[in-house]
Structure 1
Amino acid sequence: MAAGGRASGRPAKKKGPTKGTGGQVRRGLEGRGATPPAEMRHWYKDKARAERVAREERGGGGRRPAATRQRRSEDAPEYIGGRNPVLEALLAGVPASALYVAQRIDNDDRVRDAIKTATERGIALLESSRDKLDRLTDGAVHQGLVLQIPAYDYAHPSELVELAQDAAEPPLIVALDGVTDPRNLGAIARSATAFGAHGLLIPSRRSAGVTGGAWKTSAGTLANLRVARAANLTAALREYRDAGLFVIGLDGEGRTDIGDVDLLTEPLVIVVGSEGKGLSRLVREHCDVVARIPMRAAAESLNAGVAAGVTLYEVARHRRR
């Protein structure tokens, strides 16, 4: 059949029936049973926790979780917790506005002396729950005693030079570059007070401030040592140099041992860098000398507080000659 066959040469294929859903649609429309009670739902604990936090923020009890804590403003009061730190701060004359005492506290000599000293200084005594003391100290150990101190009143950088001039002494100022741990600031304050420094200088940003943690570590010495704050640390160092002070930076990569620096009896600014990064590039450029503390090769680098103490001792030793 040359001309009478189908064009394709094979019969046309019929379309078969569409496959079914196997009952999936029907099952999807069926009910899922009774709604489970709230306590059995996976999100119940999270919701209950959120409601508890909301109650606490409105004045309820309990400590706020870390994720919900807000940063205190600079004008907010600070808190020192712990029996020894509180008593030391009170005896050192640290400015305070209230002493919180836990209900049913176990009395000892430190508690009695703290209450007596606070009463003699006219500081308000407030009996509080331990939950509230936990919130005031952000969960730190307080042993039932918390001292509220007002926000620190920072000095102007030039005031530190004026303090030295009033004492008829060559200025000795410690500047902190990138030191963000308040405990290091407190430790440096102790060394600065012990070796006759006239004050500390800190930048207003990316630096530890005079917080409750700094007061606690300083063991009250911050009450007798002025702390100045500068909007720009390098600009403040430049002004100090213009006023006749020499700037010595501490860095493990320095080429001169601190004991060999011939400027230690001159008006000085000692700059302490952070443990991890040391001195920043701009601060290093504003130093007259970058010195190191000689150590054995196997020893690790010193933290900021220890480095400041060693250097200040060396300065004091040279000045006594």
Structure 2
Amino acid sequence: MAGNSQRKNRRTSNKKGATVGSGGQRRRGLEGRGPTPPAEMRKKHKKNRIANAKAKHEARRPTARRGGKGSSELVVGRNSVVEALREGVPASTLYVLQYIDNDERVREALQLVAERGGINLMEAPRAELDRMTNGLNHQGLVLQVPPYEYAHPEDLAAAAFDEGEDPLIVALDGVTDPRNLGAVVRSVSAFGGHGVVVPERRAAGMTAGAWKTSAGAAARTPVARASNLTRALEAYQKAGLTVVGLAADGEHKVGELEALQGPVVIVVGSEGKGLSRLVGETCDFRVRIPMPGGTESLNAGVAAGVVLYEASRRRS
């Protein structure tokens, strides 16, 4: 009798089309899937297997912590990775989660990596990315930034003298916010300075945040790291540079200091504590920025910009 057949998968209706409860699977199957991903992202492709093996090897290598001497840095999360790539932050490898949910940020990150060139693209399983980021919410994207190559403090002055110019250098004392460092680098570049000096300990380094704030200036303005800032300033003095420290109770006003016309190092302290005692005692002059508006202090980036402008005005 019809309908009582024991054969499997036998059709019992002549009606064509999707069955009730299909959930629109056929309709979704006709939708486009976007551009073809690169070979490294395509499952079963030879380059995909090579990338996976390399990613596992790289992920197992010990990674120095962020901000340490000669350490690499990991930028984690889709928005952070895309912003870093947009700003030209130097990067060595972009790690992408296997079978990642593709959205606009992922597509833009892949496109930026392809356009820039020189950045390895590797697919990694979630367990590896979790281990690399210590369980942070990486959202499937992790960008590895190579260690920044710091200059030696003496190199900054030597390069200026070689060009027949009076050195204009900014030294930061106790500035711990990378964004302030990036802002100072940007100001030094804008006003014709020759570099920035930061202490090796208890100070901001050239992280991805500093690179982004510098708006590309970090690529053309060197940053030097001093193991002892006081000794570095004393070495500058022996080389003929005047050390000028910014202090709220400085004896001179910025606009009255003629020393800014010659070879000079401008020392900027932290917004809260200002200059440390030893650094303040090492300075040849301590100057203040008049602020009739009543504001007690400016952050390091703004203060450095004011003094650099005055120095550039006098030199021109």
TM-score scaled to structure 2, two decimals?
Answer: 0.69
2:126 & 2:188 partners in 1: Cα distance? 35
1:133 to partner: Cα distance: 8.0
- 1:113 and 1:297, CA in 2 relative to 1: closer, same or farther beyond 3 A? same
Per the alignment, residue 83 of structure 1 pairs with: 82
Q: Which amino acid aligns with 2:144?
A: Q
- 1:146 and 1:222, CA in 2 relative to 1: closer, same or farther beyond 3 A? farther
Q: How does 1:290-305 map to 2 (within 5 A)?
A: 290-305=286-301
1:266 to partner: Cα distance: 0.2
Match of residue 163, structure 1, among 145, 155, 159: 159
In the alignment, structure 1 residue 257 sits paired with structure 2 residue 253: yes
TM-score scaled to structure 1, two decimals?
Answer: 0.68
Instruction: Say whether the 8 Å CA contact 2:171–2:266 is kept in structure 1.
Output: yes
In the alignment, structure 1 residue 287 sits paired with structure 2 residue 286: no
Instruction: Say whether the 8 Å CA contact 2:84–2:208 is kept in structure 1.
Output: no
1:104 & 1:78 partners in 2: Cα distance? 25
Q: Which amino acid aligns with 1:155?
A: A
Which consecutive unaligned segments of at least 5 residues does structure 2 have? 1-55, 57-63
- 1:182 and 1:242, CA in 2 relative to 1: closer, same or farther beyond 3 A? same
Match of residue 244, structure 1, among 240, 243, 258: 240
In the alignment, structure 1 residue 104 sits paired with structure 2 residue 121: no
Which consecutive unaligned segments of at least 5 residues does structure 1 have? 1-58, 60-69
Instruction: Say whether the 8 Å CA contact 1:86–1:146 is kept in structure 2.
Output: no
2:211 & 2:94 partners in 1: Cα distance? 15
Instruction: Say whether the 8 Å CA contact 1:83–1:143 is kept in structure 2.
Output: no
2:307 & 2:108 partners in 1: Cα distance? 34
Secondary structure at the counterpart of residue 158 of structure 1: helix
- 1:139 and 1:269, CA in 2 relative to 1: closer, same or farther beyond 3 A? farther
Secondary structure at the counterpart of residue 151 of structure 2: coil
Match of residue 272, structure 1, among 268, 271, 290: 268
Q: Which amino acid aligns with 1:98?
A: T
1:211 & 1:138 partners in 2: Cα distance? 20
Secondary structure at the counterpart of residue 308 of structure 1: helix
Per the alignment, residue 174 of structure 2 pairs with: 178
1:148 to partner: Cα distance: 1.8
- 1:165 and 1:139, CA in 2 relative to 1: closer, same or farther beyond 3 A? farther
Percent same amino acid among aligned pairs? 53
1:216 & 1:137 partners in 2: Cα distance? 24
Q: Which moved more, 1:271-280 or 1:218-227?
A: 218-227
Structure number, greater radius of gyration: 1
1:266 & 1:98 partners in 2: Cα distance? 43
1:78 & 1:138 partners in 2: Cα distance? 15
Secondary structure at the counterpart of residue 204 of structure 2: coil
1:114 & 1:244 partners in 2: Cα distance? 46
1:176 to partner: Cα distance: 0.6
Instruction: Say whether the 8 Å CA contact 1:84–1:110 is kept in structure 2.
Output: no
1:187-234, Cα deviation, whole Å (9 max, x unpaired) = 111111111111111111121112222223223322212111111111
Q: How does 1:135-146 map to 2 (within 5 A)?
A: 136=133, 139=136, 146=142
- 1:255 and 1:277, CA in 2 relative to 1: closer, same or farther beyond 3 A? same
Q: Which amino acid aligns with 2:88?
A: A
